[in-house]
Amino acid sequence: MIAPVYPHRDGVGLLICETVERDARGQLLVRGLFPACEIGASRYRLPDAADSAAVLEKLCFVFFVEGGEGEFEASLAIHATEGGVAFDEHVGRLSADRDGATVFVVRMAPFVLPRFGKHHVVLKLDDREYYATCCFVESDAEGEGEHEDEIEGYEFGVGPSPAAPPRRVLH
């Protein structure tokens, strides 16, 4: 068995969207992109819950893995910077090819969030962790909380680029 080669921190990227679909040509179509990793959600009180929470019908975390090679056990954790864990589970096995990017999609439907605010998104490949920060903000049904002026804030490789895909490099 060949030992896996783990990707460098700048070789793992993240984008967050509502859904990812495959078209007739095999291309992935991203729908409902949250470009600044700021996710707007309406407040929702869960039955039998003491606190209010946000519930999104569906949410996808799309990871791009470049530079790694081998088979990895993948886990995903999403937790508030202070407190509550929204998700923490093994999500599958990832096969990475050193010669290209591997796309790994984790789709959650519904996605229940215990609190608004900044959260860490942590992708764990075996015992290696890659993380990014996103923010869940309260919004109304009209999509308030979306800020188009933040589109220039993408991180890609060494620095932001207006032509870069909308994803955050994980640390």
Q: Which amino acid is at 32?
A: G
HEC string of the chain?
Answer: CCCCECCCHHHEEEEEECEEEECCCCCEEEECCCCCCEEEECEEECCCCCCEEEEECCEEEEEEEECCEEEEEEEEEEEECCCCEEEEEEEEEEEECCCCEEEEEEEECCEEECCCEEEEEEEEECCEEEEEEEEEEECCCCCCCCCHHHHHHCCCCCCCCCCCCCCEECC
Calculate mean pLDDT across residues 2-10: 88
pLDDT at 137: 92
Q: What is the pLDDT of residues 44-101, one digit of tens each?
A: 876 665 565 788 889 999 999 998 899 999 999 999 888 778 899 999 999 988 888 8
- Examine the pLDDT at 136 and tell me if it is beyond 80: yes
pLDDT at 42: 86
The burial of 121, by beta-carbon neighbours within 10 Å (0-12 exposed, 13-18 middle, 19 or more buried), is given as buried
pLDDT at 55: 85
pLDDT at 32: 93
Calculate mean pLDDT across residues 94-115: 87
- Examine the pLDDT at 134 and tell me if it is beyond 60: yes
Q: Which residue has the tokens 């991180």?
A: 155
HSE-up of residue 71 (Cα within 13 Å, Cβ side)? 4
What residues does each domain of the chain span? 9-144+152-169
Least confident of 117-121, 157-161, 167-171: 157-161
CATH (residue range 9-144+152-169) = 2.60.40.1930
More confident residue, 140 or 139: 139
